[in-house]
């Protein structure tokens, strides 16, 4: 395999890794009946006119399995943080005592667990599509390189095998991530 092909393969591998990272971030933000501070990552709070992540304006801790405690560094931020959580799609009503905000995560119903499992599968399928698109683009680059006589037919065939092996590895990793997250959601 020549150097140019290897560069393109490495670039595709990086893109596939980014897809896996994105999938893991999506999974981290899915509420699983347990308190997980990362569910707040996508909720911006208005901090003196600029949207800011909650974890940058407050300390977020997990004192109990189903409780998140948000302690703002500026007590004046309690109302904006509560408002941001209420307007988000988190589905939990915050309670505050003037110093901190508590989020109590209810147990998930069986129907809600199944709904979340479907969402997890959808994210997994989207990640697989992204990996396969990356494979397709790389194979097209190899075909163009062969057509332009930059590589031999043997190089192209070897490159295609390596691309398929890489794609299979990342697809398998996606399947493992999906199965693990589904197991976490479905266990009570």
Residue ranges of the domains in the chain?
3-28+109-186, 37-104
Q: In the Cβ-directed half-sphere of 65, how many Cα atoms lie within 13 Å? A: 6
Domain 3-28+109-186 belongs in CATH node 1.10.132.20: yes
Angle ∠(185,60,104) on CA atoms, nearest 5? 50
For domain 37-104, the CATH class is: alpha beta
Beta bridge partners of 9: none
Count Cβ atoms below 10 Å from residue 49 Cβ, excluding itself: 6
Q: What is the structure's pLDDT at 31? A: 65
Q: What is the pLDDT along the chain (188 residues), one digit of tens a residue?
A: 688 888 989 999 999 999 999 999 888 777 666 777 888 888 899 888 888 888 889 999 988 888 889 999 988 889 999 999 888 877 788 898 888 999 888 787 888 888 888 999 999 999 999 999 999 999 999 999 888 888 888 888 999 999 999 999 999 999 999 999 998 888 75
d(CA 91, CA 40): 12
At residue 36, the pLDDT reads: 79
- With H, G, I as helix, E, B as strand and everything else as coil, classify residue 44: strand
CA dihedral for 83, 85, 91, 95, sign (positive or negative): negative
Burial of residue 99 (CB within 10 Å: 0-12, 13-18, 19+) is: exposed
Average pLDDT, the chain: 88
Which residue(s) pair with 131 in the sheet? none
**Three-class secondary structure of residue 93 per DSSP:** coil
The pair of structure tokens assigned to 163 is 């691309």
Beta bridge partners of 60: 70
Q: Give residue 17's pLDDT.
A: 95
Reference 122, options 178, 84, 80, 68; nearest CA is 178
pLDDT of residue 162: 93
DSSP lists the bridge partners of residue 94 as none
| pLDDT of the residue at 188 | 59
Give the start-end residues of each E strand in 99-147: 101-104
């Amino acid at each position: 395999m020549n150097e140019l092909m290897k560069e393109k393969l490495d670039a595709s591998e990086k893109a596939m890794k980014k897809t896996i990272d994105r999938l893991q971030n999506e999974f981290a933000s899915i509420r699983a009946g347990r308190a997980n501070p990362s569910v707040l990552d996508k909720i911006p709070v208005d901090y003196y006119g600029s949207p800011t992540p909650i974890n940058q304006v407050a300390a977020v801790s997990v004192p109990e399995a189903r409780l998140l405690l948000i302690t703002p560094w500026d007590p004046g931020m309690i109302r904006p943080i509560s408002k941001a959580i209420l307007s988000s799609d988190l589905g939990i009503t915050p309670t505050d005592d003037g110093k901190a905000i508590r989020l109590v995560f209810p147990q998930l119903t069986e129907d809600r667990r199944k709904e979340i499992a479907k969402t997890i599968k959808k994210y997994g399928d989207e990640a697989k599509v992204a990996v396969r698109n990356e494979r397709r683009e790389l194979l097209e680059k190899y075909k163009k390189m062969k057509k332009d006589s930059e590589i031999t037919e043997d190089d192209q065939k070897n490159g295609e095998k390596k691309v398929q092996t890489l794609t299979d590895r990342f697809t398998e990793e996606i399947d493992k991530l999906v199965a693990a997250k589904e197991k976490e959601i479905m266990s009570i």
